[in-house]
Structures are given as structure tokens and as C-alpha cells.
Amino acid sequence: QSVLTQPPSVSAAPGQMVTITCSGSSSNIGNNYVSWYRHVPGTAPTLLIYENSKRPSGIPDRFSGSKSGTSATLGITGLQTGDEADYYCGTWDNSLSAGGFWVFGGGTKLTVL
Amino acid sequence: QVQLQESGPGLVKPSETLSLTCSVSGGSIRSYDWSWFRQPPGKGLEWIGHTYGGGSTKFNPSLKSRVTISLDTSKNQFSLRLSSVTAADTAVYFCAGGGGRDFDYWGQGTLVTVSS
């Protein structure tokens, strides 16, 4: 059971927009930056968004991130078939008993119909 | 461009120790912090543990008692050891790294199966 909650799957048609949500708690998303990763099975995962909404060099502005309270959202506009992948949110968890550690969502499979 | 490559046995017997190495090219291992992740079949990513450039470590509380992560600066590699493995440890294992709490660099992953 993942600490962060994501929908197992989302789908949309080419050219459309999709959002993927990530829910957590005050010990993780509520007080830390959120990152998003894209993973095509069999390949290396890729950092898409860091510090809630920033894009690394080379990531197109079709990808956006936001955070509100204990939830974060990844948005993808102008969907392309090449966007089909698993998307993961991740953040730091400040749980005192564990001294802090990274937590991730269970992943959301994006299908571009 | 920093590139990572995992290596190690693809099959480990139950109760034995899983050992993997991540070779880093295109950058110094001292310049970044490094983590290991895994993805069991049909499941999401799980963070295993982390080593900072200076050598200190941090582990997933659920795996802490069985995990060792170490740096070999002479070879520009870092390694993972997971002891007393069971079938539940069967997964694709990834190494990853970056400069803060984000992971900019990832390996492609290596499948490790625990079976007798």
C-alpha cells in the first residue's frame, strides 16, 4: 500500500488534456515539495516536475504541476500517443519516528485512446 | 550527461543476500546523492534507501534492518545489499541520483527474482 494515493489509470483522446491527482498528508505533501516521474516499462524513469511545478530542461510546457494543501496534480495538455506511460508522484515524508524518508504514489497508467 | 547502469545477479535464492551495483558515468559520484528503488511485479515504485555524497545513509523504515548501501568513489559506483530475501523481494531494481530531493538520473532497472 503506497503512502501517496493516485488513481490507477486515466485515459483521454489525442489532443485532449488529462490530470492526475496525488493525495497525501500533512507529514508529506502538506509540508514538502512534490515531484512527478514518467516511466515507460523497460526504460529509465524520467523526472517531469520538481518543486511542485518546475520543469527540468527538455520537458515541454505541455506538462504542468500544482499543489494545494495535501494534494498535488499533474496536468498534461495536447496528449500524444507517446505520452502513454506510468506516472508517479513522490515527496519527502517528515514522520519523526522514521527521521524522514521518501514516499511515492502507486502510479497512474495513462492511456491515450 | 550522467548515466546510470545497474548490474548484478538476476536470480537470488531465498534467505540469501541480494547484491546490486550501480555504475555512474558522465559525472562524479561525489557530486550527487544516490538512491535505490524497486518495483515489484504489477506494483508501483518503492524507495529502498539513500546515500548522500558524504557517505551518510537513510533507509525505508520497512526495509531498514536488511539494507546496506555503500559508495565506492574509486570506481564511481554505489551498491545495494538486501539480506534475508524472500519472494516478496522479487522486483525490478532501479538506481537513481540527483542533487536534492529529486531524482534527475535513473538507470533502466534490473530484474531480480528470488527463487530456489
Q: What's the pLDDT tens digit per position in A29-58? A: 999 999 999 999 889 999 999 999 999 999
Q: Of A99 and A50, which is predicted with more confidence?
A: A50
CB of A60 within 8 Å of a chain B CB? The answer is: no
User: Rounded to an integer, what distance in angstroms lies between the CA atom of residue A65 and that of residue A74?
Assistant: 5
CA distance B95 to B78: 9
Rounded Cα distance, A83 and B3, in Å: 23
**Res A24 pLDDT > 70:** yes
Q: In the prediction, which pLDDT does B78 show?
A: 95
Joined together, the cell numbers standing for residue A20 give 492526475
All three cell numbers of B34 = 544516490
What is the model's pLDDT at position B33?
A: 92
Give A91's contacts in chain B (Cβ within 8 Å): 101
Quote the DSSP letter at residue B64. G
Which of A102, A103, A104, A108 to mutate to test binding with chain B, by most B CBs within 10 Å of its CB?
A102
**Average pLDDT over every residue of B80-107:** 94
Tens of pLDDT, residue by residue over A62-91, are 999 999 999 999 999 999 999 999 999 999
pLDDT on residue B108: 95
Q: Is B61 on the interface with A (CB under 8 A)?
A: yes
pLDDT at position A2 is 84
pLDDT at B116 over 80: yes
pLDDT-derived band at A23, boundaries 50, 70, 90:
very high
CA angle A22, B34, A108 (to 5 degrees): 20
Q: Residue A110: left if φ>0, alpha if ψ -120 to 50, beta else—which one?
A: beta
Nearest-Cα distance to chain B for A86, in Å, is 9
Contact state of B45 with A50 under an 8 Å Cβ cutoff = no
Instruction: Judge whether residue A1 has pLDDT over 80.
Output: no
Could you give the count of Cα atoms lying within 13 Å of B115 in the half-sphere of its Cβ?
A: 7
Give the pairing of strands A108-112 and A9-12. Answer: parallel
Residue A97 has pLDDT above 90, yes or no: no
Please give the residue of chain A at the shortest CA–CA distance from B3.
A44
What band does A95 get if pLDDT is binned at 50, 70 and 90?
A: confident
d(CA A67, CA A70): 8
- Residue of chain B with shortest Cα separation from A47: B104
Backbone dihedral angles phi then psi of residue B51, each to the nearest 5 degrees = -125, 130
- Euclidean distance between CA atoms A64 and A58, whole angstroms: 13
Kindly report the number of other CB atoms within 10 A of residue B102's CB atom. 20
pLDDT digits (tens, 9 = 90+) for B19-78: 999 999 999 998 899 999 999 998 889 999 999 877 788 999 899 999 999 999 999 999
Reference B73, options B19, B32, B36, B18; nearest CA is: B32
pLDDT at B25: 95
Backbone φ and ψ of A22, nearest 5°: -140, 115
Mark which residues 5-44 of A lie under 8 Å from B by CB.
Answer: 32-33, 35, 37, 39, 42-44
User: What residues in B contact A106, CB-CB < 8 Å?
Assistant: 43-44
Q: Is-contact B46 B32, C-beta < 8 A?
A: no
Q: Answer whether A98 touches B (CB < 8 Å).
A: yes
Q: How many residues does chain B have?
A: 116
Per-residue confidence (pLDDT) for residue A101, from 0 to 100: 87
Can you tell me whether residue B65 is helix, strand or coil?
helix
Pick from A44, A39, A42: which is nearest to B3 by CA?
A44
DSSP code of A22? E
Chain A contacts of B103, Cβ < 8 Å? 35, 37, 45, 47, 90
